[in-house]
Structure 1
Amino acid sequence: MDMKLEAVVLPVTDVDRAKHFYKALGWREDADFPLGNGNRVVQLTPPGSPTSIHLGIGITTAEPGSTQNLYLVVTDIEKATAELTEHGVTVSEIYHRDATGANAPGPDPDRRSYNSFATFSDPDGNSWLLQEITERLPGR
């Protein structure tokens, strides 16, 4: 049986602030509806992604900002970081893993898939890890 990751819940302190942040990145708003008892869920989806995020009130007990290193896969790390910066997001410097596994500045010199990264966070501190993938591993 297929099991598809459909949505990930992000704990936030202010749903409207978080919604504005992600919409400003160009993420599609799929839903914003009350659940009753003052609870609410907002679903947003990154461009080209089959998986969405859920923001809301009464949907998680996790601490705001506690979600760390959610992967956003991109085909061009430099273009992705530039686009995020244009949207007002503070993005880390691009880095890659060197032969020892340590982080080194700049994209992978050979532009190998799975080896160039950058990070950013939402207003609550939930963090995202951009990863450049241009060629998938077999079976993916």
Structure 2
Amino acid sequence: MDMKLEVLVIPVADVDRAKAFYQQLGFRLDADFPGKDGFRVVQVTPPGSEASIIFGTGVSAGEPGSAQGLHLVVADIEAARKELLARGAEVSEIWHDADGVFHHAGTANRVDGPHPDRADYGSYLSFSDPDGNGWTVQEVVTRAPGR
């Protein structure tokens, strides 16, 4: 049986501010549904993605900004950085992990610049939404077999 990742729920403090931020980055607005007693669900989808994120009022018990390690994959890390900056995001410089397996949590083991061989899955940048939910953008030109 196939199982596909559909939605990640992220906690935010200000729904309208988060909605504006993600739309500014080019995420597609899929839904903005109000419910009873202030309940609200906003769903946005990154460009080209089949999976979405949801945030709102009453949809997460998490502390705003506590979602970390959210990943987006791009074919050109340098172009992605330029576009994110042009869309107003505060984006890190491009980096790679010193060990080259996967990146460590936080900023530990980071080395400035893309992976020296520009290996798939090896170059990253990072940014946060206005609440501090942390995103990592990873460069993948050719996916590994089976992925």
Scaled by the length of structure 1, what TM-score is found?
0.95
- How many residue pairs match? The answer is 140
Give % identity. Answer: 58
CA RMSD between the two structures: 1.2
Q: Runs in 1 of length 4+ with deviation above 3 angstroms?
A: 98-102
1:119 aligns with 2:126: yes
CA distance in 2, matches of 1:65, 1:72: 17
Matches within 5 A, 1:1-140: 1-99=1-99, 102-140=109-147
SS of 2:79's partner is helix
Query: 1:68-96: CA deviations, max 9, x gaps?
Result: 01000000000001100001111011011
Q: Which runs of 5+ in 2 are unaligned?
A: 102-108
Q: 1:99 to 1:53 in 2, by over 3 A?
A: closer
CA distance in 1, matches of 2:127, 2:137: 8
Q: CA deviation at 1:100?
A: 6.9
CA distance in 2, matches of 1:138, 1:66: 32
Scaled by the length of structure 2, what TM-score is found?
0.91
Q: Which runs of 5+ in 1 are unaligned?
A: none
CA distance in 2, matches of 1:80, 1:134: 13
